[in-house]
Amino acid sequence: MDVAIELKNICRSFKNHFWQNKKQVLKDVSLKIYKGEIFGFLGPNGAGKTTTIKIITGLIRPDSGSIKIFGHPANALEVKKRIGFLPESPYFYEHLTGYEFLKISALLSNQKDYKSGILGLLEKVGLKHAVRLQLRKYSRGMLQRIGIAQALVAEPELLILDEPLTGLDPIGRKEIKDIILEQKAKGNTVFFSSHILPDAEAVCDRIGIIIDGQIIKVGELNKLLKKGLKTDEISLEDWFVKQIKRNE
Amino acid sequence: MNRIWAIIENTFKESLRQKILLLLVIFSILLIVVSIFLEPFALGEAPRILRDFGLAVSALFGVLVVIIIGSTLIHKDIEKRTIYTVITKPVRRSEIIIGKFLGLLLLIIILVCAMAVIQQLVIFFYESSFDFSLLIAIPFLILEIMILLGILLLFSSFSSPALSAIMGILFFIIGHASPDLKLFADQVKIPAMKYLAYGFYYILPNLENFNLRIDLVHKLPLYPDQILFSVCYGLIYTIFLVYLAIIIFQRREFK
């Protein structure tokens, strides 16, 4: 299978203040995400999910290890053209309307004929009524939706979503899950982190679990769940809690 | 080009909607208009005061806008994390810096030109004629603002808004004291001090190159070689500062 993202032995440490010791946030993380799959990146708070995603998107650099996206370095412009990214708890330019924000996103993504595409996207994420509303008047769920829309604006081959389902009501979650499945149907790859395990369970082909900066499990969801309890399948939530307790 | 234009447009709109800008505009316009009422105290110097005061207010306005808005230009995007969705698009970091620089510069140029128009109207109201010779000061004021904006952008790309603003003010003060620094360097006897003063004089921007207020108000002649030098100096210094800001911003991480 073709590889979309390949992380090899990634290590990264931070220190909050110059007088503090460095804390290792990622410890030898290696991971392969294949083209066309939906990959769920799961882990408790502070496990290193967002740091991993920031390294994949080129927002930060690893201390050691290598990262390739479609065979190229993460920061390459050719790579960025093929990626759509939604950050965790996204903040956008508050003074812009939904339409203006997507227009800027489209221009930054080299899209020239953006008008109809933007209106279609706004409809897809359920924000057609808020086209001319400034983002500062958007609710938390609406911001999450516009965030998804800006990630999709260039019709990316790889969608990277950091906690995309947070802050959404059940209808919003269903709509985002449908978008994720639609991307897979188009042959695109989706890499997302989530705390909402039943939702991850509903859409993922494979999952990876990170705890305390280390990948402890990667595999196809069905196989992992069957391994978790030999007699019958258990829910992802039960299995996840079991894995965490085992690593404590 | 589309990408830089998108950043210019966004920076322009974002800066335009800051409430502090509106306050500064109103305050500056009031100051220019109020100069009409200084006539009784001017002791026959009213025409000179109208010109000098108007140019000084325009300059002060431009400098204040560049320091207040320029110091937060990059930092706010990082602090509010709005930079995440911009930097992960297929856009070069240099394009972000250039777009931010040009976006705020465009806004300041428009506002400074608006101030110049108001000053001309005030002069017309008082003298029944315009004094277009004063307009020569505007491009030089813009050159000075470009250098200050470059300094703020440079510091804003790696430090806090407060430090950026302080550095902007310091460079503004030292930049206008540059001839005094040269005088000090010429006269001081201690060799170490002499070299240090010359070093600062040649490295720090000499903003007095762009101060034509006295020449214009007193109708002194302007020399083409002096004007050409100032224009080249301003452009080269600004390009150097923006280039440094780009180098620093390219190395920056967004934790």
- For chains A and B, CB pairs below 8 A equal 74
- A42: domain CATH number is 3.40.50.300
Kindly report the number of other CB atoms within 10 A of residue A229's CB atom: 12
If asked whether residues A7 and A73 sit together in one domain, one would say yes
Domain extent at residue A7 = 1-15+22-82+157-214
A-chain residues near B17 (CB < 8 A): 95
- Cα Rg of chain A (Å, integer): 18
Instruction: Give CA angle at B101 (B95, B103), nearest 5°.
Output: 95
**In this complex, is the C-beta atom of A110 within 8 Å of any C-beta atom belonging to chain B?**
yes
B55/B52 Cα distance (integer angstroms): 5
> Is residue B212 in some structural domain?
no
- The answer to whether position B47 is within a domain reads yes
Residue B240 buriedness (CB in 10 A; 0-12 / 13-18 / 19+): middle
Q: Which residues of A22-40 are buried (b: 16+ CB within 10 A; e: fewer)?
A: eebbbbebebbbeebbbbb
Of A59, A104, A112, the CB nearest to B87: A59
Instruction: Give B8 to chain A, closest Cα distance, Å.
Output: 10
> Once rounded to an integer, what is the mean pLDDT over residues A23-42?
94
- Would you call A96 an interface residue with chain B, using a CB distance cutoff of 8 Å? yes
Which residue in this structure is represented by tokens 């190395």? B251
Please name which of B146, B145, B106 lies closest in space to residue B242, comparing C-alpha atoms: B146
Euclidean distance between CA atoms B146 and B233, whole angstroms: 11
* Structure-token pair, residue A30: 């290696």
What is the complex's ipTM, to 2 decimals? 0.86
Average pLDDT per 10 consecutive residues for chain B, totaling 255 residues:
90 88 86 77 75 87 92 87 92 95 95 90 86 89 95 91 93 93 91 91 92 79 89 96 96 88
User: Taking residues A130-134, what's their average pLDDT?
Assistant: 91
| Contact (CB<8Å) B255/A60 | yes
Last residue of one domain, picked from the residues A136, A155, A174 = A155
Q: Quick one: A78 and A164 in the same domain?
A: yes
Q: Which residue of B80, B81, B89 is in closest CB contact with A108? A: B89
Instruction: Please report the pLDDT score of residue A228 as a whole number.
Output: 56
Q: Which two tokens stand for residue B69?
A: 């808005």
Q: SS3 letters for A157-190? A: CEEEEECCCCCCCHHHHHHHHHHHHHHHHCCCEE
When CB atoms are compared, the residue of B13, B17, B82 closest to A91 is: B82
Number of domain units in chain A:
2
Touching check for A71 and chain B: CB below 8 Å?
no
Tell me, yes or no, whether B204 lies in a domain. no
Residue-averaged pLDDT of chain A: 87
- pLDDT tens-place string over residues A86-101: 998 777 888 889 999 9
The answer to whether the Cα torsion of B95, B99, B100, B101 is positive or negative is positive
Give the separation between CA B250 and CA B254, rounded to whole angstroms: 11
Domain membership of residue B227 (yes or no) is yes
| Total number of domains in chain B | 1
pLDDT, tens digit (0-9, with 9 covering 90-100), for A206-245:
999 998 899 988 988 877 776 654 445 456 677 777 777 7
Residue A219 phi, psi dihedral angles, 5° rounding: 170, 180
pLDDT at A8: 96
Asked whether residue A11 falls in the same domain as residue A61, the answer is yes
d(CA A189, CA A174): 19
- What pLDDT shows up at residue A229? 47
User: What is the least distance, in Å, from the CA of B29 to any CA of chain A?
Assistant: 26
Query: What is the arithmetic mean of pLDDT over A48-65?
Result: 94
Identify which of A188, A187, A194 has the alpha carbon closest to the alpha carbon of residue A173: A194
Asked if residue B245 belongs to a domain, the reply is: yes
pLDDT category of residue A118 using cuts at 50, 70 and 90: very high
**A60-116 pLDDT, tens digit each:** 999 999 999 999 998 889 999 999 999 987 778 888 899 999 999 999 998 888 888
Q: Write out chain B residues lying below 8 Å of A108, CB-based.
A: 3, 6-7, 86, 89-91
Q: Could you tell me if A116 and A170 are in contact, meaning their C-beta atoms sit under 8 angstroms apart?
A: no
Give domain status of residue A221, yes or no: no
Q: Are A167 and A179 in contact (CB under 8 A)?
A: no
Say what the pLDDT of residue A234 is: 56
Query: Does the distance separating the beta carbons of A57 and B82 come in below 8 Å?
Result: no
Q: Which domain holds residue B20?
A: 2-174+223-251
Under a CB-based contact definition with an 8 Å cutoff, are residues A177 and A202 in contact?
Answer: yes
CA dihedral A112, A113, A116, A121 (to 10 degrees): -40
